[in-house]
């Protein structure tokens, strides 16, 4: 039986950095999908759907991955019931952070582990909440954005860096979830496929 390949279906350098720390042997492929939300789609449903769609798209777009285990993930931030994406500009990043002052922002991360050989997908939505300081000033937020340039981050901050200075508290089971890849759940899902970095071999025959 041919050896299985583990694939991260994401172009995110943050997710790749997380996966590197897990001592897993994997490849990277960028999924090409339409990420537009459906009409009246709940954020939990959106991230779960897109995570699975990304994983399936990688398998479909790359014939070499027909036997692979593929990881797909998607994340949104939710504040006051609104879905917030990546700011892509300094002005939008500062405006997004101004909106968060004194509030709790929920980050929802969709995670999918897809077995391309069996066409079976394991999908979950993992929440993580961040309570922002209520004494943050516009000058502080502008300085933060200038220093860290979090323009490609949902929520306009990097919790693994200086972004931690913006918070009163973090609420969740796995801080990696906030960065974009919930490792506790991912490793649990991978163990179902006999992929375990603690077993000495993360490839499934």
- Measured CA to CA, the distance from residue 154 to residue 119 in angstroms comes to 30
Rg of the chain over Cα atoms, rounded to whole angstroms, equals 18
Angle at which helices 138-148 and 90-100 pack, to 10 degrees?
A: 130
For residues 75 and 110, is the Cβ–Cβ distance under 8 A? yes
Quick one: tokens of 195? Answer: 């992929």
Respond yes or no: is residue 173 known to be catalytic. Answer: no
Choice among 40, 74, 119, 168 that is catalytic: 74
For residues 23 and 83, is the Cβ–Cβ distance under 8 A? no
Residues 16-24: contacts with CB under 8 Å, at least 24 apart: 18/176, 18/179, 18/180, 18/181, 18/183, 19/71, 19/181, 22/183, 22/187, 22/197, 23/197, 23/202, 24/190, 24/195, 24/197, 24/202
Residues marked as catalytic = 74
């Amino acid at each position: 039986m041919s050896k299985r390949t583990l694939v991260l279906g994401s172009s995110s350098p943050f997710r790749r950095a997380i996966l590197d720390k897990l001592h897993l042997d994997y490849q990277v492929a960028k999924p090409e999908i339409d990420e537009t939300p459906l009409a009246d789609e709940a954020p939990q449903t959106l991230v779960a759907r897109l995570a699975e769609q990304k994983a399936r798209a990688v398998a479909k777009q790359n014939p070499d991955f027909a036997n692979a285990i593929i990881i797909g993930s998607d994340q949104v931030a939710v504040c006051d019931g609104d879905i917030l994406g990546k700011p892509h500009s300094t002005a939008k990043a500062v405006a997004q952070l101004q909106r968060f002052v004194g509030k709790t922002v929920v980050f929802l991360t969709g995670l999918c582990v897809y077995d391309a050989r069996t066409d079976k997908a394991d999908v979950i939505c993992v929440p993580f909440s961040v309570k922002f300081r209520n004494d943050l000033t516009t000058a502080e937020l502008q300085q933060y954005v200038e220093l860290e340039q979090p323009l490609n981050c949902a929520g306009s901050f990097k919790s693994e860096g200086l972004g931690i200075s913006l918070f009163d508290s973090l609420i969740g089971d796995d801080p990696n979830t906030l960065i974009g890849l919930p490792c506790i759940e991912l490793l649990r899902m991978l163990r179902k496929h006999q992929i375990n970095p603690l077993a000495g071999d993360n490839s499934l025959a």
